[in-house]
Amino acid sequence: MLRTVKPRNARVKRALAAREPKEVEDPRTAVFVKGTTGSEVLNGVMKDLLALKKPHAIPFSKKNTIRPFEDTASLDFWADKNDASLFVCSQNTKKRPNDLIFARMFDHKVLDMIELGVESFIPMVDFKTPKAQPGIRPVIHFGSELFDTHPRYMQVKSMFLDFFNGAPMTAVSLAGLEYVISITLAPTPPNLNLEDTSASPSDLPLIHFRCYTVRLLASGVRTPRTELVPMGPSLDLRLRRHQDPDPEVLKHAMKQPKLKKADITSGLGKKVKNRETDEMGDVRARIHLKKQNLDKLQTRKMKGLKPTQMEIDGEASDSDMDPVAGDGEDS
């Protein structure tokens, strides 16, 4: 546990306030940790994943003795220290060659982890094609029915979605949809048991991680025709160990804030009718009123336009008033 600091100046106060829990959270920051033993493939994988995750990524430059499935204390500590909630750990051993561990945190504690073995890897530099701008939000594509049915792959989907696209957005530039991360599975083996989460890795289909840049072409209609160009990196991953979230902690983590009315009008939620914000930031609204009663309109005061005695009497008897009180000033 980190020592708690009492802020002594405004800068520290701001820095600590920025770390406090928020209703709408910031994008998750990922820490990239190298294990004690590496390989050329793993270095390349870590470098390319870092490039995709930037600017919400912190690479650790030194090697660390870390075995997250045996002890998560280091991850908990780093999560607190760096205010990070995602970890990618790499390790190359004889038992588990080219091993990647993705860990997700909740409240600076490990929520769940998946371990993936890199079977094949083509780095981004090997694709001599244009790359997407750094820091731009990708489109994520999941291809396979197992992402909806198999618990192991549901976890993979949730993890990758959180990793690259977890933070909610209010708006997206139509020209800013630059690249897509496609996560597709190999064909499902016919004898795959959907209930069995402890199936051996070789029985579970491979995960193909591909990145493509998107080209938008004229189509004659509003929606453009899309073509993809491989951008890299290209990874084939094999599922290995995993750690499911604790149901009690997960329940706590899945709590969502109630949306405020202001957030809904600003575009996070439903559209509000007759209301818009102009370029100056002022709210412009169209309001609907009932028909104006012109009979009660005060016009120029003239003796000839004064109500007659009969009219006054009629009004007074309606409203139960003394008729004499009306013309008191005349006498």
Partner 1 sequence: MDLSAVVAQQTAAQAAKYKSVAVEKEIPLEADVGLLTIIDPNPIDAEAYQADREVHLQALARDGVQALLAQVFALPTKSSIHGPLAILPQPTTKLPRAKPLPKPRMLTKWEKFANAKGISHRKRINKVWDEEKKEWVARWGYRGKNKEAEQQWLHEIPANKPADYDPRAEARKARKERKDKNELAKQKNLEYNARMQAKRDVIDRSVARSRMSTASMGKFDKTLEGEKKPRGVKRKFAPNEASSTEKERSMALISKLDGKPVSKKARIDPRPNPGRTEDVLNVRKAVKFASRGAGSLALGRSLEKPKKRTMSKTSRKKMGGRH
E strand or H helix that includes residue 261? helix 261-263
Give least dist CB 154 to partner 1, A: 11
* Between 86 and 99, CB nearer to partner 1: 86
Residues 113, 123: Cα–Cα separation, whole Å: 24
* Between 101 and 159, CB nearer to partner 1: 159
Give least dist CB 287 to partner 1, A: 18
Distance of CA 26 to the CA centre of its chain: 8
* Between 32 and 160, CB nearer to partner 1: 160
Give least dist CB 288 to partner 1, A: 22
* Between 7 and 267, CB nearer to partner 1: 267
Q: Are 134 and 54 in contact (CB under 8 A)?
A: yes
Give least dist CB 138 to partner 1, A: 7
Whole-angstrom CA distances from 113 to 85, 86, 126, 258 are: 12, 10, 30, 29
* Between 35 and 102, CB nearer to partner 1: 102
* Between 254 and 302, CB nearer to partner 1: 254
Owner of token pair 């396979």: 144
Give least dist CB 195 to partner 1, A: 18
Give least dist CB 210 to partner 1, A: 6
**Among the listed residues 214, 189, 216, the one whose alpha carbon sits nearest the alpha carbon of residue 203:** 189
* Between 216 and 312, CB nearer to partner 1: 216
**Among the listed residues 103, 126, 102, 112, the one whose alpha carbon sits nearest the alpha carbon of residue 41:** 126
Give least dist CB 235 to partner 1, A: 12
| Token pair for 244 | 């499911």
Q: How far apart are the first and last CA of the chain?
A: 92
Residue type at position 98: N
**Among the listed residues 85, 10, 88, 104, the one whose alpha carbon sits nearest the alpha carbon of residue 42:** 88
Dihedral sign, Cα of residue 141, residue 145, residue 147, residue 153: negative
Q: Are 240 and 68 in contact (CB under 8 A)?
A: no
E strand or H helix that includes residue 245? none
